[in-house]
Amino acid sequence: MKDSFAVAAALAAGIGIGSFGVHALHAQSEPPVYMIEDNTVIDPAGFAKEFAPLARESLKTYGGQYLGGGSGVSVDGDPPKGRVVLVQWESVRQMMKWRHSLEYNAARTVGERYGRFRIFAVDGVPQ
């Protein structure tokens, strides 16, 4: 009787651990979200010196991964209007938490003296 109880308990524990593992793997397989900025910079020196460091620090604090930035290149159609920035986020929820954070709002107040912002996001695809 004790042996069958031990086997049943081990089986139940294995099922629990397995279901947790499947859930963890599923969470990891969700595609990232990519935030694209096309910012019109009015004062490049002020933008780079006063706004950019604050914005980058707020991205790190909230889990954004800065992937690249620059003037951008037009492949088809009109070129970007300004400085293009690409940031990867784990989810839209994470990105919006950053967007409405005190840290980013403080940076944005500084940045609006030096440029205009156009920010949008797209879903990544599962790999």
Residues 99 and 56 in one domain: yes
Residues 58 and 25 in one domain: no
Residues 22 and 39 in one domain: no
Residues 17 and 70 in one domain: no
Query: What confidence score (pLDDT) does residue 30 get?
Result: 81
Mean pLDDT by 10 residues, the chain (127 residues): 58 61 58 95 95 96 95 91 94 96 97 96 89
Residues 18 and 80 in one domain: no
Give, in order, the Cα–Cα distances in Å from 45 to each of 14, 25, 87.
59, 45, 22
Q: What is the DSSP string of the chain?
A: -HHHHHHHHHHHHHHHHHHHHHHHHHHHTSPPEEEEEEEEES-HHHIIIIIHHHHHHHHHHTT-EEEEEES---SSSSPPSSEEEEEEES-HHHHHHHHTSHHHHHHHHHHTTTEE--EEEEE----
Structure tokens at 42: 């009015």
Query: What confidence score (pLDDT) does residue 81 get?
Result: 85
Angle at 73 between CA 39 and CA 57, to 5 degrees: 40
Residues 60 and 96 in one domain: yes
Residues 96 and 66 in one domain: yes
What's the structural domain count of the chain?
2
**What is the extent of the structural domain holding 17?**
1-30
Residues 108 and 61 in one domain: yes
Query: What confidence score (pLDDT) does residue 7 get?
Result: 54
Residues 39 and 21 in one domain: no
Residues 96 and 42 in one domain: yes
Give the domain CATH number at 53.
Answer: 3.30.70.100
Residues 20 and 47 in one domain: no
